[in-house]
Amino acid sequence: MLPTTIEKETHILVVCIDRDNDLERKANIKGPIIGRKENLNAAEKLALADPGDSDVNAIFKAIQIFDELKRKNKAEVVTLTGDIDVGIVSDRQILTQLDQILKKRKVNEIILITDGAEDEYVLPLIRSRIKDVYTQKIIVKQNNQLEGAYYLMYEFITSILSDKKAANMFIGLPAIAIIIYALFGNAGGRLILGIIGSYLFIKGFQLEHIITKISQEIHISLKVQKSSFFMYLVSIAILILGIFSGYETVRIANTTEIIMNIAYFIQSAAFLLFVSAVLIGIGKYISDKKGIFTQYITYFLLLFTMTWTAKEISSYVLSPQLGYAPTITAILIGGTLVAISSFIEKKLILKKRKQRKNK
């Protein structure tokens, strides 16, 4: 916007920006264009070359504002031109031309005339040279909104393509979804929803570090410990089999109650999921040279207790007549085994620490 009040004898520079250098490409006029007469001639030549170019309107507006200001102030009007390669190249060219003008003229304020969203990207660069910069946008009815939308979309797509993570998110994932749907049809739609749900679950609970650690572990085991990699591979296969088994059981049960569906899933998948987790632990123990065996025993017992307890709870949900005694039994026996294993584990760790200190 323009300043509401301007002090007398203020040195003002009215600047019009041709960021994509239409003046040179269409009218063979090189920037910078300095002075009222030169800008008027440039606008007329550009209008004859391309009457629909919005830069024509911007130059005429710059001349109009210059005519209003020169009555009470020392003012000058200039048009700065960039390059067809809009971006860093064109902005450097514009800044170079501005620096040349500022060396020869004393300037206190700049009034920047823009014809759309494209030229406004240069505003921070101009403010790096002169603090007091005011803007005036020229609205060209036939293309102002379209141009702004175009450059907004252009900048968005450019920023995505230049950022690997953003490209994976906004281009890679939709591409995978399209391929899955093309291959599997309606079934692929459910698979896509499952993948999206898994991704949101990992992001929502901030589990990225766990996934990264698991992938790194598998990668290292593939390179160094072939046997542990085999364990990981088999555990993943059993994990998928367990999930599929639980899904099929829920589908066949055909109930709308969420708790019942969870119980059916646990009944069918719990054992396979337990085996998958045990194989992961064995693979980890094989690759972990410094691992303490009792730590893994505690891990296995904890998995066993959790699986046993989950199965008994699901059995009670599906058949309440069985009572809750089996669930209590599972918790007590499993908890006791875990507690004993943890106690032995702590004793062995303390023993090893004492041996290290003595050495």
pLDDT digits (tens, 9 = 90+) for 147-193: 556 556 666 676 666 667 667 777 777 788 788 778 777 777 777 77
Question: What burial class does residue 78 get, using C-beta atoms within 10 Å of its C-beta: 0-12 exposed, 13-18 middle, 19+ buried?
Answer: buried
Residue 287 in contact with residue 221, Cβ under 8 Å? yes
Q: How far is CA 272 from CA 114, 301, 307, 313, 338, in A?
A: 66, 16, 10, 17, 21
Residue 266 in contact with residue 316, Cβ under 8 Å? no
Supply φ then ψ for residue 111, to 5 degrees: -110, 115
Question: What burial class does residue 94 get, using C-beta atoms within 10 Å of its C-beta: 0-12 exposed, 13-18 middle, 19+ buried?
Answer: buried
DSSP for 70-105, please give it. TTTSEEEEEEEE--SSTTHHHHHHHHHHHHHHHHHS
Task: Using alpha carbons, select from 271, 272, 264 the residue that is nearest to residue 248.
Answer: 264
Residue 159 in contact with residue 166, Cβ under 8 Å? yes
Q: How far is CA 224 from CA 114, 219, 220, in A?
A: 62, 9, 6
Positions of the chain with pLDDT under 70: 1-10, 116-120, 136-156, 158-163, 165-166, 217-227, 289-292, 359
Distance, in Å, from the CA atom of 340 to the CA atom of 335, rounded to the nearest integer, reads: 9
Distance, in Å, from the CA atom of 196 to the CA atom of 292, rounded to the nearest integer, reads: 38
Q: Where are the alpha helices (DSSP H) in the chain?
A: 22-27, 36-49, 54-69, 88-104, 123-127, 144-162, 164-167, 173-184, 186-204, 208-223, 226-253, 258-287, 293-318, 325-358
Distance, in Å, from the CA atom of 359 to the CA atom of 303, rounded to the nearest integer, reads: 36
Q: Please, what is the angle between helix 36-49 and helix 54-69, to 10°?
A: 160
pTM over cut 0.85: no
Tokens 């059993």, located at residue:
238
Distance, in Å, from the CA atom of 155 to the CA atom of 169, rounded to the nearest integer, reads: 17
Question: What burial class does residue 133 get, using C-beta atoms within 10 Å of its C-beta: 0-12 exposed, 13-18 middle, 19+ buried?
Answer: middle
Distance, in Å, from the CA atom of 293 to the CA atom of 306, rounded to the nearest integer, reads: 20
Supply φ then ψ for residue 286, to 5 degrees: -65, -40
Supply φ then ψ for residue 180, to 5 degrees: -60, -45
Kindly list the domain boundaries of the chain, sorted by start residue.
11-150, 164-206
pLDDT digits (tens, 9 = 90+) for 50-84: 887 778 888 898 898 898 888 887 888 999 888 88
